[in-house]
C-alpha cells in the first residue's frame, strides 16, 4: 500500500467498468493517478477537459485518486510522475492481445516500467465506451453502465 500508480486511458466516457478497476487499484496500491490520454489521432466524443471533469465527478469520494490529462507517451508521463507501474483493465479475452502488445512495447521502450492488468467484476466485464456511445445514440437506458453525471452528459451530446 502507499505506492503511486498510473491508470491511463481515453475514458471517452468513463464507465462503471473503469471505476471498478480504479477501486481495485486503490485497494492494492493506495494512490492512483488517472491519466486521461490526449491522443490526437483518435476522434473523441468528449474533449480532454470534459473527460477529466467527468472522471473527477465520477471518482468523487474515492480516496487516493487524482485525475490529470497528458500528451505523448505514457512511459514519459510515468517518469515525470516518478512511478514505474501502469494499471490496465482487461474486460474480455479480446482485450488481451491489444493490451499485451502495448505492454510489451512499453517494456521495450522502458524496461523499468511494469504493466499490471486488473479485471473488473464480471457484471462490468462486457462494458466498453464505444458500445455505450452506440446504444446511448438510441436513447437506451444506460444508467446501469455509467454514473449519473456521464449519463446526463451523453444525452446532452447525443441529443437523447
pLDDT per residue as tens digits for the range 82-140? 999 999 998 777 778 889 999 999 999 999 999 999 988 777 777 788 888 888 888 88
Residue 18 known to be catalytic: yes
Catalytic residue among 18, 51, 124, 153: 18
For residue 144, give the C-alpha cell: 446501469
Catalytic residue among 41, 42, 43, 63: 42
How many Cβ atoms from other residues are within 10 Å of residue 76's Cβ?
13
| Contacts of 19 by beta carbon, 8 Å cutoff, 6+ apart | 58, 59, 147
Catalytic residue among 51, 124, 129, 153: 129
Is residue 36 a contact partner of residue 11, using CB atoms and an 8 Å limit?
yes
Residue 124 known to be catalytic: no
Structure pTM?
A: 0.92
Catalytic residue among 51, 91, 124, 153: 91
Is residue 127 a contact partner of residue 15, using CB atoms and an 8 Å limit?
yes
Domains and CATH numbers, the chain: 3-158 (3.40.50.620)
pLDDT digits (tens, 9 = 90+) for 42-87: 889 999 999 999 999 999 999 999 999 999 999 999 999 999 999 9
Q: Which helix (H) or strand (E) holds 48?
A: helix 48-58
Amino acid at each position: 500500500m502507499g505506492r503511486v500508480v498510473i491508470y491511463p486511458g481515453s475514458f471517452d466516457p468513463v464507465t462503471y467498468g473503469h471505476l471498478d478497476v480504479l477501486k481495485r487499484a486503490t485497494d492494492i496500491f493506495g494512490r492512483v493517478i488517472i491519466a486521461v490520454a490526449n491522443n490526437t489521432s483518435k476522434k473523441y466524443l468528449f474533449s480532454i477537459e470534459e473527460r477529466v471533469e467527468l472522471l473527477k465527478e465520477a471518482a468523487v469520494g474515492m480516496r487516493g485518486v487524482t485525475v490529470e490529462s497528458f500528451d505523448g507517451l505514457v512511459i514519459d508521463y510515468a517518469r515525470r510522475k516518478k512511478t514505474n507501474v501502469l494499471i490496465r483493465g482487461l474486460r474480455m479475452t479480446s482485450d488481451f492481445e491489444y493490451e499485451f502488445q502495448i505492454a510489451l512495447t512499453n517494456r521495450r521502450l522502458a524496461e523499468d516500467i511494469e504493466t499490471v492488468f486488473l479485471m473488473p467484476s464480471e457484471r462490468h466485464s462486457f462494458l466498453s465506451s464505444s458500445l455505450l456511445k452506440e446504444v446511448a445514440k438510441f436513447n437506451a437506458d444506460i444508467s446501469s453502465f455509467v454514473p449519473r453525471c456521464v449519463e446526463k452528459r451523453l444525452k446532452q451530446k447525443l441529443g437523447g
